[in-house]
Amino acid sequence: MKILVINGPNLNLLGIREPEIYGKKNYHDLVQYIDEMADELNVNVTTFQSNTEGEIVNRIQEAYFEKVDGIIINPAAYTHTSIAIPDAIKAVGIPAVEVHLTDITKREEYRQKSYTKEACIKTFMGNGFTAYLDGMKYLLDNAKFID
């Protein structure tokens, strides 16, 4: 199974960025965690990070031509603002899981709305890096049943 993990703006600054909220581990640690979990699950994973909405849309479109089986996406702040990202997920028709390090439902009011959610088959949030593992397992169990 081919999975693409997409991380949005400021996630490259993990470890530096508000460690009291996002933890002390850095972005390299996150990518390493994703790679290790993917190895254990026998999943072929590629990780992509961008601070730019259009680049994320382009990467989702490329995934269609690469015949990616599933997408795990943490759109970061674009979760709450972007229509183009869920549109792209719907356009390519690849099963996608939304993940967040923090529980956005328990944070500021402006984080309560996720536009990404409606384009995804599942959301995992609030448990740090574990959301990415949960996302991979969920895609493994469910993506094959989705056309």
Question: Which positions are catalytic?
Answer: 22, 100
Task: Give the residues across from 4 on adjacent strands.
Answer: 46, 71
Nearest to ligand DQA of 44, 105 (CB atom): 105
Question: At its nearest, how many Å lie between ligand DQA and the CB of residue 41?
Answer: 21
What are the contacts of 12-21 at 24+ separation with CB within 8 A?
Answer: 12/49, 12/51, 21/102
104 is an interface residue for ligand DQA by CB under 6 A: yes
- Among 111, 115, 121, 142, interactor with ligand DQA by CB under 6 A: 111
Name which of 112, 145, 141, 134 is nearest 5 in CA terms.
Answer: 134
CA-angle at 89, arms to 85 and 90, nearest 5°? 115
Of the residues 49, 79, 116, 123, which one makes contact with ligand DQA according to CB under 6 A = 79
The CA distance from 8 to 74, in Å, is 6
With CB under 6 A as the contact rule, the residue among 26, 46, 51, 102 that binds ligand DQA is: 102
Q: Which residues bind ligand DQA (CB under 6 A)?
A: 10, 74, 76-77, 79, 100-102, 104, 111
